[in-house]
Amino acid sequence: STTVGILGGGQLARMLALSGAPLGLRFLVMDTVADACAAQFVPLLQADYTDQHALAEFASKVDVVTFDFENVPAESGQWLASQRPVFPSPRALAVAQDRLAEKTLFNELGIATPRFSAVLSRADLERALCDIGTPCILKTRRLGYDGKGQFRLKSEADADAAWAALGGQAETVGLILEGFVAFQRELSVVAVRGRDGEFRAWPITQNWHHHGILSASLAPANCSEALSATALQHAKSVADALQYVGVFALELFERDGELLANEMAPRVHNSGHWTIEGAECSQFENHLRAVLGLPLGSTDARGLSCMLNWVGELPDARGALSIAGLHWHDYGKSPREGRKVGHATCVGDSMAALRRQLEEAGRRLGREAQVAPVLAALG
Ligand code: ATP
Ligand code: MG
Ligand code: MG
């Protein structure tokens, strides 16, 4: 049988393994901590990602390598690629790990982005502020997630505070200053590209964030044919340019009918969790199919879905399980502020059916504020 090696043992690895079980696949996850949530039912190799001995053991036990965590050091990915097929490739990963490299690639491909400028020093920040104007956001180029490593500047007077918060990282992970986009909506394209170059995308997803962390996703988003075609074309050009293999997400801001690319995630993505129950083939199964060179599954939606993220702590499971059409996911993690501990996906065969489920979920789970923007979007 085939064993898939996953670097990183979080909830993404856990859901990859769950979706791979019916395909007869086996898994081995490598993580730096012993209590990684995928390790509750997947064998774990606990080691540092730079531990050469551990990498060799990992490579010897798996047939193919993929990622739950994209910030594995590039040299480790490269070494593994000399031993086993690694998807996505270390080169694709290197671009997606770096906000400056990914935005530069987007622009090269004719994909608009927020204005951006690399910041290496305090003087650079001054220059970039003149160039980009305010409001703007200073971000670390690497290692940021869930809105971490970001500082929002309302005016130039915030420059000192921004530098105090992030300046120390200018020389380690690098910084980038981005214009703040007053978008109407956030959308994402979750797509998959096979080893043979076949490209498929799930319907566009609309996303809402709370304190920089994904809070809710609605799919298919209410988009014009033209907007949806442009978004999919952007995702395809990025995937082709990187000769990308596997699932990835392209995050977009919609402003006055125009799409600006924010970032890409070189892995299965939180805004694609709805595909587990809401699509013919989920992002997790299609990622495995892609990295193994198997035929890709259909990315068609089954009805209308809304994913609600549980951040910090889970709401009442019994209440949730009594809602027809709601699918419950508990990642088996201990509660902690800002931590993604689970999600639920409501799937309805009509807008009215989804609306009823979300109203009930909001009420029963005490999450009215979380479902409110989705209900407003449903009209
Ligand atoms: P993720 O968890 O999606 O990987 P991240 O830490 O990489 O998050 P971003 O996606 O860049 O960070 O930013 C998080 C959120 O902050 C965005 O989804 C968006 O809501 C807001 N944001 C980021 N950049 C901008 C911008 N230039 N203009 C307006 N809002 C922004
Ligand atoms: Mg990100
Ligand atoms: Mg993001």
Backbone angles phi, psi at 159, to 5 degrees: -60, -40
The CA R_g of the chain, rounded to the nearest whole Å, is 20
Sequence ranges of the binding site for ATP? 99, 139, 144-150, 178-181, 186, 209, 262-263
Distance from the CA of 214 to the center of ligand 1, in angstroms? 9
Q: Looking at the structure, do residues 211 and 251 belong to the same domain, yes or no?
A: yes
Decide: 190 and 271 in contact? Cβ < 8 Å. Answer: yes
pLDDT of res. 379:
84
Backbone angles phi, psi at 166, to 5 degrees: -120, -10
pLDDT of res. 314:
98
pLDDT of res. 70:
87
Decide: 62 and 86 in contact? Cβ < 8 Å. Answer: no
Q: Looking at the structure, do residues 300 and 205 belong to the same domain, yes or no?
A: yes
Q: Looking at the structure, do residues 141 and 245 belong to the same domain, yes or no?
A: no
Domain's final residue, options 68, 86, 104: 86
Extract the residue ranges of the chain whose pLDDT is less than 50. none
Eight-state DSSP code of residue 182: -
Task: Please write the tens of the pLDDT for every residue from 40-62.
Answer: 999 999 999 999 999 999 999 99
Distance from the CA of 356 to the center of ligand 2, in angstroms? 32
pLDDT of res. 34:
96
Q: Looking at the structure, do residues 133 and 278 belong to the same domain, yes or no?
A: no
Residue-range definition of the domain harbouring residue 80:
3-86
Return d(Cα 233, Cα 236) in angstroms, integer: 5
Backbone angles phi, psi at 283, to 5 degrees: -60, -35
Assess whether the C-beta atom of 70 lies below 6 angstroms from ligand 1. no
Report if residue 107 sits inside a domain. no
pLDDT of res. 306:
98
**CATH number of domain containing 14:** 3.40.50.20
Report if residue 96 sits inside a domain. no
Assess whether the C-beta atom of 186 lies below 6 angstroms from ligand 1. yes
